[in-house]
Amino acid sequence: MKNIAVINGSLRKDSLNRTLAEAIAGLAAESMRFQFVEIGDLPLYNEDLWAQPPESVLRLKREVEAADAVLFVTPEYNRSFSPAIKNAIDWGTRPWGQNSWESKPSAVIGTSPGAGGAMAGQNALKSLLTVVDTVQMGQPEVYFQFKPELFAADGSVADEKTREFLMRWVRRFDGFIERVSPPKTSAQA
């Protein structure tokens, strides 16, 4: 079972992106455990805070470092990705030399009620994930126009084509993590 740290850039309760991530978590349940990382309580990045690091920052680093992979789920804000994600990424790269993202398998997904389906926001995030040294899955991309009828009230995927599309992504992400991860020692397995 792979542990996936999920970072959702939307902090609001009724996040469409959270709906998407939870639906994928359901589809992936046989091989991946999705653990949502809290980023809403991180302070805005301030170098001075390292003198006495906030628990929320230490928790973020711990949870990312313990995960087998990181899934970023981002809303699109003004053709870019969520500032909450940028803040979390910045915290994770420090202290210098202790970059929590280094060599982590990663992927980006997202949705929007707009016709572009959060593609522009995802593209901006993807270039940053290379800079911070994650190992990123390029395909398949998951961006689409969110329509409420695609998802059922229980959080499952109601639309068959969408379910197949997301299931294909799940299988690819599962295989990708195996391909790019170093073999586990017997103590870690």
- Give the footprint of ligand FNR on this chain (CB under 6 A): 10, 12, 15-17, 75-79, 112-114, 116, 118
Q: Which is nearer to ligand FNR, 9 or 105 (CB)?
A: 9
Task: Give, in order, the Cα–Cα distances in Å from 66 to each of 60, 77, 130.
Answer: 10, 29, 20
Q: Which two tokens stand for residue 64?
A: 């990312």
Residue with the CB atom nearest ligand FNR in the bound state:
114
How far apart are alpha carbons 90 and 16 in whole angstroms?
Answer: 25
DSSP for 127-162? HHHHHTT-EE--SS-EEEE--GGGB-TTSSB-SHHH
Residue 148 or 175 having the CB closest to ligand FNR: 148
In whole angstroms, give the CA distance from residue 64 to residue 70: 7
Least gap, CB of 77 to ligand FNR (angstroms): 4
CB of 58: closest distance to ligand FNR in angstroms? Answer: 26
* Shortest spacing between CB 141 and ligand FNR, in angstroms: 15
Task: State which residue, 95 or 148, has the beta carbon closest to ligand FNR.
Answer: 148
Nearer to ligand FNR by Cβ, of 158 and 180: the residue is 158
